[in-house]
Structure 1
Amino acid sequence: MKESPHAAAYRFLYDGDHEIILFAALKRLHMNRSHADYEDYLQEARLLFPEIYAAFPENPETKPHQFLAYAQQKIYWTLLDKLRRDRKQLERQEPGNQDELITAVASDDDILDAIGQADFRQYLLKVIGGAGTTGEWRYLVGTLLDQLTAEEIATRHGVSRNTVYKWRRSLIRRLVRNLTPPENFSN
């Protein structure tokens, strides 16, 4: 009866002192028996071994020293990647400083101000959308919605910056005429 590849790998691992490569890989990771996850990583190394045994380009039985060096390095790299992922996961789960979070949250005034600006932007778009020119519309959308500079608006529409500034002047004149009541115009 022929031996399965996994059985052959485990037989090779437990023959002699070959299992020492697993302990050496863990030692290179600065994990000793007192480490909380030592047994878990040792088990991971044992589970990796048959895959490494099967992936070795030559017969591990005929070149045991080369294979063991290869296997130890492969186990080390794989466990190092796992250790990094596990640490990163733990860092994400650590409690943060709530004071920073509370100060980063917008105040009610900031939120109301943002809502007011959004309403004002919508109003401006309605005023210009109904009566404005294409250039005024492009300037208004470029600055209010896309938050582009004059140069970026010019590049987007294939015109010069002077044309964009003309659009802005035209827009300002239209807004002054439409938004300012005649009695308050001079104020």
Structure 2
Amino acid sequence: MDHQIKGWFKKMTNNTDAVAYAFLFSGDHEQIIYGALSRLHLSPVHADFDDYVQECRLAFPAIYRAFPEDPQTKPHQFLAYAQLALYRRILDQLRKAWRHQDHQETGDPELALAAVPVAERLEDLVHARQYRLRLLQVVGTTGTLGEWRYLVGTLIDHRSAAELAAHHGVSRQTVYRWRRALLRRVTQEFFDQF
């Protein structure tokens, strides 16, 4: 058993990952992790702070290998490079988490339904329904196929621009173009009357 441990330790000392971790944990180099997280306003009181610190530690060897020069000979330049790389990595993870969170509703469905504003007067409900029907008539008779797809996809199917693009096999820019055209048509139809 001792022979296996010695062999593993020898492989680790020759490994660039071991060298990278030795560099990270020497001196105060680990402060770059806390600096990157601080720039993202993640403090130790954040629920996932320890997870992000660990993620930075795990990403460090790859950053060490990616540095174009020898980190041992240019430690200050490398530390600045590594801190920026860690900042970008965690920022990407946060953005993905935010996007994922936007697509999911959490909590009790009863509370979510209770939070939906309810029209207090019957006349408001009738006017809203008439407005939606008029909007569908305008786009259905004079609108383009793209405007129709955008209207139905957002109003009825509740899809995001990315989901609409994937569903119809077009780019998101095309979906945004549909939206602009629809807004122009609605503005002309409903607000030019006044």
Instruction: Give the TM-score taking structure 1 as reference length.
Output: 0.51
Taking the TM superposition and a 5 Å limit, the aligned residue runs for 1:155-166 are none
- 2:71 is matched with which residue? 60
Q: Determine if the alignment matches structure 1 residue 70 to structure 2 residue 81.
A: yes
* Aligned counterpart for 1:50 among listed residues 37, 42, 61: 61
Corresponding residue SS for 1:93: coil
Distance 1:71 1:93 in 2: 33
Counterpart of 1:90 (choices 101, 111, 125) is 101
CA 1:92/1:68 → structure 2, altered by over 3 Å: closer, same or farther?
Answer: same
Shift of 1:38: 0.4
SS of aligned partner of 2:100: helix
Q: How many angstroms does 1:94 deviate by? A: 2.1
The one-letter amino acid paired with 1:89 is H
Residue 22 of structure 2 corresponds to residue 7 of structure 1: no
Match of 1:166 in 2: none
2:161 alignment partner in structure 1: none
- Name the amino acid aligned to 2:63: I
Quote how far apart the aligned CAs of 1:93 are: 1.6
How many angstroms does 1:87 deviate by?
Answer: 1.5
User: Which residue in the other structure is 1:30 paired with?
Assistant: 41
- Give the deviation of 1:76 after TM superposition: 0.3
The answer for unaligned runs of 5 or more in structure 2 is 1-9, 107-111, 118-124, 126-142, 146-194
CA spacing shift, 1:62–1:94, aligned 2, 3 Å: same
Unpaired stretches in structure 1, ≥5 consecutive residues: 104-146, 150-187
User: Which amino acid is the alignment partner of residue 51 of structure 1?
Assistant: A
Over aligned residue pairs, what C-alpha RMSD do you find?
Answer: 3.3
- What is the TM-score when the length of structure 2 is the normalising length? 0.50
Kindly provide the CA deviation profile for residues 111-159 of structure 1, in whole angstroms up to 9, marking residues without a partner as x. xxxxxxxxxxxxxxxxxxxxxxxxxxxxxxxxxxxx979xxxxxxxxxx
Amino acid at match of 1:23: Y
Q: What one-letter code is carried by the residue in structure 2 that aligns with 1:92?
A: H
Report the alpha carbon displacement of residue 91 of structure 1 after superposing the two structures with TM: 2.1
Q: Does 1:81 align with 2:72?
A: no
Asked whether 1:17 is paired with 2:28, we answer: yes
Larger radius of gyration: 1
Deviation string, structure 1 residues 95-118 (Cα, Å, up to 9, x no partner): 465858xx9xxxxxxxxxxxxxxx
SS at match of 2:14: coil
Q: 1:86 to 1:148 in 2, by over 3 A?
A: closer
